[in-house]
Amino acid sequence: MKLKTLYAVAAIALFSAFTNPAPPETDIIGKWKIDDASVNNATNRVLFKLKLANLGMAGKIEDQRNRIKEQIAAVRVTFSADHTTAIQSGDKTTAGTWNLSDNNHILSTTKNGVIRKDSILSLAATRIQLVGLAERDTVVYIRP
């Protein structure tokens, strides 16, 4: 009986030694959307930037809050295995690229020549939590 148990434990140890967890890159690949809890913060950031760039139109910009919020909630980001991205907003799709660096702790995305770097706070197959290094904004993405 002890010998069977020993063999079973040895077999489990052997098989688990050759089983690698999925690398972070594998978890990122696929389609994502901004989590509902992050949409309000993203909306506030967009409105702030718009008001700053258009000081005389702050009231009119604020009137568009719900429309902007709906647009942000509808955005879908697809990370492909070939390190390209497709950002879909309404009927418009913008192409870009992505990569991981700093031992898979930094996600860099490039869109229209602009590079954004985010620190990865958590990453799982169904959820990514990022903090923008320049903006210091936290965003959670989930699978749609």
In this predicted model, which residue has the larger pLDDT, 11 or 37?
37
pTM of the model: 0.79
Q: Where are the domains of the chain?
A: 25-142
* pLDDT at residue 15 tops 70: no
- Average of per-residue pLDDT across 88-102: 95
Mean pLDDT of the chain: 87
Choices 2.40.128.270, 3.40.50.720, 3.40.50.1370, 1.20.140.10: CATH for 25-142: 2.40.128.270
Q: Is 118 exposed, middle or buried (CB count within 10 Å of its CB: 0-12, 13-18, 19+)?
A: buried
The pLDDT assigned to 14 comes to 46
Q: Which residues contact 62 (CB under 8 A, 6 or more apart)?
A: 47, 51
> In the structure, what pLDDT confidence band is assigned to residue 20 with cuts at 50, 70 and 90?
very low
| Phi, psi torsion values for 54, nearest 5 degrees | -135, 65
